[in-house]
Amino acid sequence: MTALEQALQAFPLRGKPIYTGRYGCGHINDTYAIACDSGCMYILQRVNSKIFTRPEELMENVAAVTQFLSDRCADPRGALRLVKTVDGQNSFVDSEGEHWRVFPFVDNSICLQKAESKEEFRQSAIAFGRFQKELAEFPAAMLHEPIANFHNTVDRYRQFHEALDADIMDRARLCRGEIEFYLAHEQEAGCIVDRLADGRLPLRVTHNDTKLNNVMLDYDSRTALCVIDLDTIMPGSSLYDFGDSIRFGAATAAEDEQDLSKVSMDLELYRTFTEGFLSACGDSLTEEEKRMLPIGAKMMTLECGLRFLTDYLKGDTYFKTHREGQNLDRARTQMKLVADMEAKMPQMEQIIQEVQG
């Protein structure tokens, strides 16, 4: 019996599976669509244990958050619902030690890889803002960290210095200007983590992969239904999720664009996301969180660029590359975005004030 067949028998599906096929565009987990003779459909996933080395803890996170959300959501499409195994476990462990999990398929839904309109970008903002509001009372400190220090920018700088000092690929000489840029911004590295540590910012449940393709939309209306792909949920700051959405979604060029004249942050897209996010958050964010949202966008961009540059210095061991120097190009686009955000910071702050009314 294959691992897939073992997994299908491990969950109390409604009906007999009559179709099993690969599904979606994800690059980490193995995902399958399951259709049963009852008409019910499911999503079955094998968790990638090479990326997530503590799958039990990851599944504890997913189970706790999905239960919390589904208990408070009457709409069956408004939150992911984890299907327990026949013996009541969060996941099934096959004969090779791999973890499998099942979710009911979200009916009449669509997942977009890229926003085709401002309204679709706004809907992603609504989904992630609602995610923050609905989890505002969740005890974030109880969650595990699937990736330790994921958004600890201070620790990211520590790793950068180690890579720079070692310079095992002899690449530092090829990016002196980029190195100087990131070193010049190091004094800002603790502006979020320090506030989390001393309580000026509240600890929140963060998603940490806030792209449109992690939002399910209603197929007909294209309005937000729920947030998916909860593997990277962990304790953190709401600024992380807002900031990374702006870094990726409001950029005017691809992440590895080589022509930096094409790279900037679109203020209209920034406004669009801010309007959707804050409207959905309601009164769940503190005044300090709202004030620092523009800083969150800048810091997530700075941190991501630093990670690209660190990986370039180490020989491209983390981020997948398809050509020579791709990680360096990525680091440069983030530099350009950081500089553009710095120039536009007064407008970004003004938009926050205007959206709040």
> Is 349 within a domain?
yes
pTM of the model: 0.92
Based on the fold, state whether residues 177 and 29 are members of the same structural domain: no
**CA nearest neighbour of 100 among 144, 157, 45:** 45
Based on the fold, state whether residues 184 and 84 are members of the same structural domain: no
> Is 49 within a domain?
yes
Q: Among the three residues 107, 127, 156, which one is the final residue of a domain in this structure?
A: 107
Q: Among the three residues 84, 107, 130, which one is the final residue of a domain in this structure?
A: 107
Return d(Cα 278, Cα 39) in angstroms, integer.
Answer: 38
**CA nearest neighbour of 296 among 175, 210, 172, 213:** 210
Please give the tally of structural domains in the chain: 2
> Is 113 within a domain?
no
Return d(Cα 207, Cα 237) in angstroms, integer.
Answer: 10
| H or E element at residue 180 | helix 176-184
Return d(Cα 111, Cα 227) in angstroms, integer.
Answer: 10
Q: What percent of the chain has pLDDT over 90?
A: 90
> Is 83 within a domain?
yes
Based on the fold, state whether residues 49 and 124 are members of the same structural domain: no
**Whether residue 157 has pLDDT greater than 80:** yes
Based on the fold, state whether residues 98 and 216 are members of the same structural domain: no
Based on the fold, state whether residues 270 and 217 are members of the same structural domain: yes
Those residues with Cβ within 8 angstroms of residue 219's Cβ, 6 or more apart along the chain or in another chain: 108, 109, 110
Whether 265 contacts 252, CB under 8 Å:
yes
- Parallel/antiparallel/unpaired status of strands 41-46 and 30-36: antiparallel
pLDDT bucket at 26, cuts 50 / 70 / 90 = confident
**CA nearest neighbour of 182 among 61, 345, 308, 272:** 308
**Mean pLDDT across the chain:** 95
Mean pLDDT, to the nearest integer, of 111-120?
Answer: 88
> Is 56 within a domain?
yes
Sign of CA dihedral 338, 341, 346, 349: negative
Beta strands in the chain (DSSP E): 17-22, 30-36, 41-46, 92-93, 99-104, 109-110, 204-206, 215-218, 224-227, 234-236
**Whether residue 357 has pLDDT greater than 90:** no
Q: What is the pLDDT of residues 239-282, one digit of tens each?
A: 999 999 999 999 999 999 999 999 999 999 999 999 999 999 99
Least confident span in 24-28, 110-114, 141-145, 146-150:
24-28
181-216 burial, b for 16+ CB within 10 Å, e for fewer?
bbeebeeebbbbbebbeeeebbbbbbbbbbbbbbbb
What pLDDT score was predicted for residue 74? Answer: 86
**Whether residue 114 has pLDDT greater than 90:** no
Based on the fold, state whether residues 227 and 273 are members of the same structural domain: yes
Least confident span in 114-118, 183-187, 224-228, 263-267:
114-118
Return d(Cα 7, Cα 168) in angstroms, integer.
Answer: 43
> Is 2 within a domain?
no
pLDDT bucket at 116, cuts 50 / 70 / 90 = confident
Q: What is the pLDDT of residues 311-347, one digit of tens each?
A: 999 999 988 899 999 999 999 999 999 999 999 999 9
What pLDDT score was predicted for residue 310? Answer: 98
Beta strands in 60-173 (DSSP E): 92-93, 99-104, 109-110
Q: What is the pLDDT of residues 287-318, one digit of tens each?
A: 999 999 999 999 999 999 999 999 999 999 98
The set of long-range contacts for 192-199, using a CB threshold of 8 Å and a minimum separation of 24, is 192/151, 192/153, 192/237, 192/239, 192/240, 192/292, 192/295, 192/296, 192/299, 193/151, 193/152, 193/153, 193/154, 195/237, 195/288, 195/292, 196/236, 196/237
Based on the fold, state whether residues 100 and 153 are members of the same structural domain: no
What pLDDT score was predicted for residue 136? Answer: 96
Q: Which domain holds residue 270?
A: 118-356
Collapsing DSSP states into helix, strand and coil, what is residue 41?
A: strand
Domain of 202: which CATH number?
Answer: 3.90.1200.10
**Whether residue 50 has pLDDT greater than 90:** no
Based on the fold, state whether residues 159 and 179 are members of the same structural domain: yes
**CA nearest neighbour of 13 among 31, 43, 36, 32:** 36
Domain of 95: which CATH number?
Answer: 3.30.200.20
